[in-house]
Structure 1
Amino acid sequence: MTSEGTMPCYRCGARQTDPVRGASPWQRGVRHETQVLICPDCQRLHDLDLDSCSTCGSSALICRLGEVECRSCGAVRTARSDALTAPAVAPPPGLSAEVEAALNRVLGRA
């Protein structure tokens, strides 16, 4: 069973699964002004190519409702409007088949 919908890791496409106990080991980040998830394996990489805060340099950012907020220093800025209209990341291969299968299960289609 997955949590947080079907949002995959932005680097490898792995799907998040519910943790057995406690908080999820997945990390959130902002890349090209879009909220992304990072799986535990990809978190070990040094170059995640995430956006950083222009005030303090931290990459601990969250993006919501057209704003980017730094969780380190609290700075908030408006997300670039072109980032809000551009497609974020191409869906991983096979995603449309997974979505179709999930819809068929939910809607009881054979």
Structure 2
Amino acid sequence: MPCYRCGARQTDPVRGASPWKRGVRRETQVLVCPDCQRLHGLDLEACETCGSTTLICRLGEVECRSCGAVRAARSDSLVGSDMGASSASPASSSTPAGLSGLSAEVEAALDRVLGRA
């Protein structure tokens, strides 16, 4: 997965912790390269409980690595809209539109890995 800001690809890591940072942006897990981490305004989501940007997104949930708070990911139809999370219910996060978006992402990833055109 490349850096979401500049598109740089990760190289094989050296020993120790990776200098790349994980975050969540528009309900999607993203990576930020060390160069882009120095910039301000990364536009990453922050934890509603503690304000940290060390979030991970997995299986329809967003978890804060700092305080452990977990919330349901908002549906695709609400991401980027003016409504935000104001009236999203947990049931609305499993819409068919969200599943079709996930299916497209999985298909694209398989095409990249298997070398399909």
Give the TM-score, by structure 1 length.
Answer: 0.69
5 Å matches for 1:4-83? 7-82=1-76, 83=79
2:87 counterpart residue number: none
Q: How many residues align?
A: 87
Aligned-pair distance for 1:20? 2.6
Greater relative contact order (Cα 8 A, min sep 6): structure 1 or 2? 1
Structure 1: unaligned runs, 5 residues or longer = 1-6, 89-98, 105-110
- 3-state SS of 1:81 partner: coil
1:15 and 1:39 mapped to 2: Cα distance? 8
2:62 and 2:56 mapped to 1: Cα distance? 6
RMSD (Å) for aligned C-alpha atoms: 2.4
1:24 and 1:73 mapped to 2: Cα distance? 21
2:89 counterpart residue number: none
1:103 counterpart residue number: 115
Question: Which whole-Å deviations, capped at 9, do the CAs of 1:59-84 have from their partners, x for residues lacking one?
Answer: 11000010000111111000012258
Aligned-pair distance for 1:55? 1.0
Aligned-pair distance for 1:22? 1.9
Q: Identity percentage over the alignment?
A: 76
Structure 2: unaligned runs, 5 residues or longer = 80-92, 103-111
Give the TM-score, by structure 2 length.
Answer: 0.66
